[in-house]
Structure 1
Amino acid sequence: MSTEIAPTVREATKPTDPQRFSAIESRSIDWITPLERSGSPWRVSPLFFIANWSFFTIALGFTGPALGLSIGWAILSSALGLIIGTFFMAFHATQGPRLGLPQIIQSRAQFGFYGVIVVVAMSLTCYLAFGVVYTILTAQGLSQIFGWSPVVIGLVINVIGGGFAVAGHDHLHRVSRWVFYITVPLVSVFSVAIVIGKAGGTAAPATDSGFVASAFFTVFAVSAAYNIALAPVVSDYTRYLPVKTSSRSLVASVYVGAGVSALWLISVGAWLSARYNASDALVALNDAGNAVFHGFGAVLALASAATLIVCIATAAYSVTLQFLTGVDLVRRIKPSRGLRIGVTVAAIVIYLVVGLGFGDHVINAASNALSLMLFLLVPWTAVNLTDYFFVRRGHYAITELFTPSGVYGRWSWRGLVAYFLGFAAMVPFAVLPFFTGPLGSWLGGIDVSWLAGLVVSAGSYFIVTRNLDLAAERDAIEQSDVGLQSLAAAPAADAHRPAAEYGLLDGQ
């Protein structure tokens, strides 16, 4: 059977009402109809490339040399980690075109309508922490280089980022492409300068030695987790692609975008750490750039800061979708444009108040929160992908995801049990900033907890779903397809009637 959903909606007409602010996205956690979708798989690659294209990633490259690895070993361990971590993240992209929904909404099929609160809480905390960290690092870094007021910098980057987040999905992809075309040539020049020895550096050159097993596997784990952190939001940015989008091409597009940019800048970070004894990524980038030619460092620093503005925008956009999903569990909402804008503005305010109001006092706490959230997201990605590719094989009743009385139930014990079993399996292997499990200590600080979580959650979910009555879901899928066809084919003036009827706009 095909993994496409709602095959009867292919001939549907565009259902949206005339919009007063047509430049601002009107959708949020509701279903994207077929004629609202367009684009090709490789059009989304720049957004995922830019997601890792900043000095935040460069700082990740400091880890290997700081733990005793040479540049070569640090790059190799990062590459291997990214190969694995990006694999899991990229496969979430296929769910966007098939289902036309944000990533977290789809998780209701595995965890139940209310059970998904576990995922919402983790993902929401993670992306709020990301926004705070982006704000602090950018404000402090540019202040140190140029002497600008960190408050002014924080306000500017968040106002700009918030503007793009409010504008919505299409604008986020568009600005990502702009930043991609502007910044990639700059970093390419800098990378060539590194290779030919024109980027300076006073520390001793790296040698072929410098292998430390615990450091190698730590960098491997950190790199793998880095792109897994993107997993809860991947479908947020692929859900406007056509249903017939090639899954293979889409996975490749996301994989290349997120993987290449991360490995490139982690490699730059490893070189900066080894050659400059760097501790601040943005300052080191500025110093090394100026060694190529005067003023180039400032250009690189500003370009890297520009990418973080896009990251702030995408984080705020996904926070909004996650928050509305959580609110919908408590009080059924109509996900209007105005509501999405209001929550987006609130997310930006949180970034500003926490980032600028507390600064250094919260940076460690935010970083620790990110470490914990990445730790907790691993079992979720295992359950979600196992369900999509091996259990239900892409077949879902979309309308049933919007009601607690649907076929997926209020609480799905199978998904919750598999999730918590995976979490329990990770704890003994954990190597976190604030906790190290007994097996993590026994392994000398080598973190393999993510692997334990993936294997146990995926395996246990596959086992407990062996008796799942998928045949009983087929009727619900057929009825859902009919409902989606009615929604998609509704005249523009009557577009919201079937949307409300099937629970895709007002949650009824």
Structure 2
Amino acid sequence: MSVEQSEADRAWAIELHGIDPIKDEERHGSPFEVFWIWFAGNIGILGVVYGGILAGAGLNLWQSIFVALVASGVSFALVGILSIAGVRGGAPMLTLSRVAFGPRGNIFPTLISWISLVGWETVIVVTAAYALLGLFHLAGLPTNAFWTIVSLIVVAVLVVFFGLLGHATLVWIQQAATWLFGILTLVIVVFLIGQTDWAKIIAAPPGPWDSGVLATLSIVAAGTGIGWVNAGADYTRYLPRNSSSRAIVGWTVIGGTLPLFVLMIVGVLLSSRVANLASAANPIAVIGSALPGWMAVPYLLTAVGGLVVAADLDIYSSGLNLLSMGIKLERYKTVLIDGVLMILGAIYVMLIAQEFLGPFESFLQLLADGLTAWAAVFLVDMLRRKHYDPVGLADTGPESRYFYHSGFNWAGLLSWLIGLLAGLAFTASPFFNGPFAVGIFASSSLGFLIGFIVSAGLYAVLMPFASPFKQKAIE
């Protein structure tokens, strides 16, 4: 690594870059880095909860294996493909998105992306705080409101700290976490499998394909890879331009799918003895109850650590999203802002709402409509574009080659909005039901797939007419 690289992106020092494109001489690393990023980011105990959702929907073991593998694998394939843009443009994902929407039009999908990331931070921190609260209880402390808030603050401080330091530190942390928490999780998994009622699992009949397989496919896809499509380029922008696109996609899929698949199947097996896994207000405590008492401390430490390394990716990317919306602050200040919002949201969930699954499912499904419609427009634009102009990405004024009409690429923005509305119209969730969420869509919640198809198809037609300066913008 050159001197410039070590100064700009050095582990355990605050990253110097914000959303400005990375110069070729500052690029470093290899595609294998994304394996560490996505493996550690998905090793959290929430994967077991997804398995509980599969079992709760009535799926048998073979159907659960199918859903766990397909939903996570296909959704992370999309993450990997979109991550290629980070190598081409050297900028974060929602900064690159300016090319498809214009610097002003891009504010709207970036806002949805930011809400998604802050929401994920909150969900993950709530789960980690429950685990830390369990450790406090083992130490003889009461599980009251005061210690709940203390657990939230401790977890949030860890998440914010790693997010403040930035890219190089996150790569280091994710690699260390993959080994440490991966091994500890494997030990815990062995004990959880030992609690399986195999006779019940083998004898289970297949569940329904509409309200079972299709419904859980949409939920798991929305909660795994779809939740990360807006962040992939954030972790590939430092890679050299000659990095293999195939390797980036491959390591992304393997890194994201492998831990999730194992944890989801463990959740399915565990549900043979733990009936309320998916509906529990505190799923961490329910999973822990299936373990021997002597494993409680290592289990809870593993749960906290595995979740913290997932949340630090969210808070890093959400800070970059704020900058992409035009917020004129240093990157570390945007991380602090998101940290405050994360704590407030977590306090609401743990002390006021006190219910986990319903809001969780609705949150995933509704945001998936916005994210997949955006991803469709971005993907079509990326596939038809030769390269990204770093000067145009950094310049949001009228002189930018990506300014289009008054800062809006109406072709991209309208394609996204129409796809989003189409997705919502076919979406059924605990808090919202679209007018066309009937029949198979009432039970499968596949609205985001409809939105993806609509946005991709519409933008493929409109993109050649995006601007009177289209040749300049698409080069």
Question: For this structure pair, what is the TM-score category when the shorter chain's length is used for normalisation?
Answer: 0.7 to 0.9
AA of the residue aligned to 2:290: A
RMSD: 2.8
Runs of 5+ consecutive residues of structure 1 not aligned to the other structure: 1-11, 478-508
Do the aligned partners of 2:195 and 2:270 also contact (CA within 8 Å) in 1? Answer: no
3-state secondary structure, aligned to 1:283: helix
TM-score (norm 2): 0.87
1:494 matched residue in structure 2: none
Deviation string, structure 1 residues 407-445 (Cα, Å, up to 9, x no partner)? 222000110121122123223321222122344322251
Shift of 1:285: 3.0
Equivalences for 1:411-426 in 2 at 5 Å?
411-426=408-423
Structure 2 CA distance for aligned equivalents of residues 468 and 166 of structure 1: 38
3-state secondary structure, aligned to 1:276: coil
Equivalences for 1:272-311 in 2 at 5 Å?
272-277=270-275, 278=277, 279=280, 280-290=282-292, 294-311=293-310
Q: Work out whether 1:400 is the aligned partner of 2:392.
A: yes
AA of the residue aligned to 1:342: K
Structure 2 CA distance for aligned equivalents of residues 31 and 458 of structure 1: 26
Deviation string, structure 1 residues 316-336 (Cα, Å, up to 9, x no partner)? 1111111111134xxxx4x6x
1:164 matched residue in structure 2: 162
1:388 matched residue in structure 2: 382
Equivalences for 1:198-213 in 2 at 5 Å?
198-199=194-195, 204-213=200-209
The verdict on how the C-alpha distance between 1:346 and 1:199 changes in structure 2, with shifts beyond 3 A counting, is same
The partner residue of 2:369 within 362, 370, 375 is 375
Deviation string, structure 1 residues 66-124 (Cα, Å, up to 9, x no partner)? 12222332232222222322221211111112111000001111111100011111011
AA of the residue aligned to 1:261: P
Do the aligned partners of 2:92 and 2:234 also contact (CA within 8 Å) in 1? Answer: yes
Do the aligned partners of 1:158 and 1:312 also contact (CA within 8 Å) in 2? Answer: no
The verdict on how the C-alpha distance between 1:475 and 1:145 changes in structure 2, with shifts beyond 3 A counting, is closer
Shift of 1:164: 0.9
AA of the residue aligned to 1:283: A
Q: How many residues in Structure 1 have an aligned counterpart in Structure 2?
A: 451
The verdict on how the C-alpha distance between 1:138 and 1:15 changes in structure 2, with shifts beyond 3 A counting, is closer
The verdict on how the C-alpha distance between 1:386 and 1:419 changes in structure 2, with shifts beyond 3 A counting, is same
Shift of 1:473: 4.1
1:27 matched residue in structure 2: 17
The verdict on how the C-alpha distance between 1:202 and 1:81 changes in structure 2, with shifts beyond 3 A counting, is closer
Structure 1 CA distance for aligned equivalents of residues 74 and 427 of structure 2: 18
Greater alpha carbon shift after TM alignment, 422-431 vs 215-224: 422-431
The partner residue of 1:135 within 113, 118, 125 is 125
1:250 matched residue in structure 2: 248
Do the aligned partners of 1:144 and 1:283 also contact (CA within 8 Å) in 2? Answer: yes
Deviation string, structure 1 residues 327-366 (Cα, Å, up to 9, x no partner)? 34xxxx4x6xxx2222212221222233236624356696
Deviation string, structure 1 residues 378-431 (Cα, Å, up to 9, x no partner)? 100011011101x22x42222112223122220001101211221232233212
Do the aligned partners of 2:20 and 2:91 also contact (CA within 8 Å) in 1? Answer: yes
Structure 1 CA distance for aligned equivalents of residues 164 and 46 of structure 2: 24
Equivalences for 1:112-151 in 2 at 5 Å?
112-144=102-134, 146-147=136-137, 148=141, 149-151=147-149
AA of the residue aligned to 1:288: A
2:144 matched residue in structure 1: none
The partner residue of 1:73 within 63, 71, 87 is 63
Structure 2 CA distance for aligned equivalents of residues 162 and 323 of structure 1: 15
3-state secondary structure, aligned to 1:288: coil
The verdict on how the C-alpha distance between 1:208 and 1:15 changes in structure 2, with shifts beyond 3 A counting, is closer
Equivalences for 1:425-436 in 2 at 5 Å?
425-436=422-433
1:220 matched residue in structure 2: 217
1:6 matched residue in structure 2: none
3-state secondary structure, aligned to 2:290: helix
Structure 1 CA distance for aligned equivalents of residues 242 and 463 of structure 2: 28
Shift of 1:256: 0.8
TM-score (norm 1): 0.82
3-state secondary structure, aligned to 1:199: coil
Structure 2 CA distance for aligned equivalents of residues 20 and 284 of structure 1: 40
AA of the residue aligned to 1:320: G
3-state secondary structure, aligned to 2:186: helix
Structure 1 CA distance for aligned equivalents of residues 425 and 187 of structure 2: 45
Structure 1 CA distance for aligned equivalents of residues 259 and 364 of structure 2: 20
Runs of 5+ consecutive residues of structure 2 not aligned to the other structure: 142-146
Structure 1 CA distance for aligned equivalents of residues 364 and 221 of structure 2: 14
The verdict on how the C-alpha distance between 1:297 and 1:465 changes in structure 2, with shifts beyond 3 A counting, is same
The verdict on how the C-alpha distance between 1:21 and 1:48 changes in structure 2, with shifts beyond 3 A counting, is closer
3-state secondary structure, aligned to 1:445: helix
3-state secondary structure, aligned to 1:395: coil
Larger radius of gyration: 1
Greater alpha carbon shift after TM alignment, 346-355 vs 404-413: 346-355
Do the aligned partners of 1:285 and 1:300 also contact (CA within 8 Å) in 2? Answer: no
